Structure 1
């Protein structure tokens, strides 16, 4: 067979999916660990990323495994123990997982997995149920100072950015942060239901998770945790309300433990290609995410630094 004929045949086989995995691009069948229940930020991020991977044709298929609990630590444990050396495994994670590791001290470590990239950043918003007796953050703070336990904060797992923010708010206004009444939910869907049902005093999460309910008047947004007001979103910051608290949330991707440098590079390249796709651009716009791409050693250092910074904040706020 002539060389050019052979190469055309090889290309045809690859296109048809008839080549063995060793001869095709690594990551053709991605297994995406989402260490949270359906309906929250990690779930939205993971599924949007999976769609971007397939639509940009760097992955043939993406399967999803939701494993919620313990601020992502349960999913992390399953990922670390069940994906060793798998070049096609990815896990969505972020700042919330760092907080959960600090407070929960799970038997597995994030350092056992392989850092790939930070992909987005997002600030939190605090909301009131539509039937709340409070009108704004000032009234919530007044009640918090009077009786910290009477204000029921609802949000993600212990150690989440909204949990840390609540403790920081208490500290800044002169309430005892160790006495805040924080109700942790296993996923964004559960937290949303609790807020809509009026089962918590105030709720917190990434803006994208509450946006449709705020727009529909089912939740009232009273503060964002950003330095300045978010573009196109007319919600006051905590700082402009006299509460000096700024804290952001970020999300990233890790690969399996024990993959080679070449496999890590292949995953990184796949991810960067997907992040340039129209599918991902649409998800970023729809969810009001801020692109914050960081890869390689810079991402690994960022995680280490953020872990240390978050721990210091939590100690100072009386959370640990």
Structure 2
């Protein structure tokens, strides 16, 4: 989705690769949900020029849509970073803190429209985890799924949802422009890229972050896989990528090759357990 976290990540990687002369050019292809995105990716054969951005939201999006696809059958390249989530409201909102919001959610959860990414994705799990701190179950929330930050932003600004949740980079420019206010960010400490208090600062003992990574097609030849790993490993140590992480307040959580391959299988299982615990999947 244009304006969403995966697109933002793809552009950030592409721009940094170009700046470091590790890549001549790139294009970004958007799909509106996990099954469509992964389905398109898996339908492409003999593509040595294709990579997919994945993250926490994708396994949940697949599972809650009843898809049989899995990120674990692609070729893992690297996990590249982790991004905090932000809870935002229109500037005219009555909510001044996350605790104001939580009070209304506790009193009448169905009356508070919460906009975020796909059902069962990282935004949904984050708000479900937060609601749990005041005794509200995930299934009792009035959670409205969007295809990404790009489609959510106008509804937050226009007050069509009471609060929006997404990765900080999806809201940062609108907060800076005075079109939104941050109720809370899920990082352990305050961030440079977006102005707002953490949940911890407001007495809520919760931190959370959305990881994103890169997948290659399952049929990528071994020589091309090795070359791709070398390029992404090289990118990780460059000034351009370090500057990107700083500018966006992204956490430098990097693992590649076999380490990422093992990690993503464990993470996929863990995400399914979280969704089942919240009864978002059976």
Q: Which sections of structure 2, spanning at least 5 residues, go unmatched?
A: none
Return the alpha-carbon distance in structure 1 between the equivalents of residues 242 and 137 of structure 2.
42
Contact kept, 8 Å, 2:245 with 2:251, in 1: the verdict is yes
SS in 2 for 1:66: coil
Contact kept, 8 Å, 1:85 with 1:257, in 2: the verdict is no
Contact kept, 8 Å, 1:165 with 1:245, in 2: the verdict is no
SS in 2 for 1:86: coil
The residue that corresponds to 2:156 in the other structure is 195
The residue that corresponds to 2:244 in the other structure is 283
Superposition misfits of 4+ residues, deviation over 4 angstroms: 231-234
- Taking only aligned residues, the RMSD between alpha carbons, in angstroms, comes to 2.0
The residue that corresponds to 2:122 in the other structure is 161
Instruction: Tell whether 2:68 aligns with 1:77.
Output: no
Instruction: Tell whether 2:225 aligns with 1:267.
Output: no
SS in 2 for 1:226: coil
Larger Rg, first or second structure (1 or 2): 1
Contact kept, 8 Å, 2:82 with 2:253, in 1: the verdict is yes
The residue that corresponds to 2:178 in the other structure is 217
Note the alpha carbon deviations across 1:178-212, whole angstroms, 9 max, x for none: 11111111121111111111111111111122112
Once the two structures are TM-superposed, the CA of residue 273 in structure 1 deviates from its matched residue by 2.3
More divergent stretch after superposition (109-118 vs 274-283): 274-283
Note the alpha carbon deviations across 1:104-141, whole angstroms, 9 max, x for none: 23132212211000111111011111121222211211
SS in 2 for 1:76: helix
The residue that corresponds to 1:306 in the other structure is 267
Instruction: Tell whether 2:29 aligns with 1:68.
Output: no
More divergent stretch after superposition (223-232 vs 309-318): 223-232
The residue that corresponds to 1:10 in the other structure is none
Once the two structures are TM-superposed, the CA of residue 227 in structure 1 deviates from its matched residue by 3.2
The residue that corresponds to 2:93 in the other structure is 132
How many residues of Structure 1 are paired with residues of Structure 2 in the alignment? 281
Tell me which of the two structures has the higher relative contact order, counting C-alpha pairs closer than 8 angstroms and 6 or more residues apart: 2
Once the two structures are TM-superposed, the CA of residue 234 in structure 1 deviates from its matched residue by 5.6
**CA shift in 2, pair 1:192/1:232, >3 Å:** closer
Q: Which sections of structure 1, spanning at least 5 residues, go unmatched?
A: 1-36
Return the alpha-carbon distance in structure 1 between the equivalents of residues 90 and 141 of structure 2.
19
**CA shift in 2, pair 1:242/1:102, >3 Å:** farther
Contact kept, 8 Å, 1:80 with 1:112, in 2: the verdict is no
Once the two structures are TM-superposed, the CA of residue 232 in structure 1 deviates from its matched residue by 7.5
The residue that corresponds to 1:245 in the other structure is 206
**CA shift in 2, pair 1:164/1:123, >3 Å:** same
Note the alpha carbon deviations across 1:41-77, whole angstroms, 9 max, x for none: 11111112122223333333322211222xx221111
Aligned counterpart in structure 2 of residue 122 of structure 1, from 61, 83, 92: 83
Once the two structures are TM-superposed, the CA of residue 258 in structure 1 deviates from its matched residue by 1.4
